[in-house]
Amino acid sequence: MTLLVASIALEAAVAVIAVLAALKGRPYLYGLAFTFAVYVLYDLGRMLGWNVEKGVLSVLFLAASASALYAVWGLYRDRA
């Protein structure tokens, strides 16, 4: 349980920092913020025993993966 709480805290910190970086002119980092926000929701759901259908989780993870791809692509183009 302690590791799950630590994981949620780290994921939330990454999401917040990604939003702050996006606000400074790197809008593609909103994708990274969204990805880690989904991770936070997923882990909170596990910790609190939320009854969520597997289809909903699959759609959320697909959206999170797509937004992470968008963020990484933006980082690649920004540095190229």
Average pLDDT in the 27-50 region? 94
**Residues 43-60 pLDDT 10s:** 999 899 899 888 898 899
**Rounded to two decimals, what is the model's pTM?**
0.89
| Average pLDDT value for the chain | 93
Domain locations in the chain? Answer: 2-79
Model pLDDT, residue 80 = 59
Measured CA to CA in angstroms, residue 74 lies from 5, 7, 13, 45, 54 at distances of 30, 26, 21, 30, 30
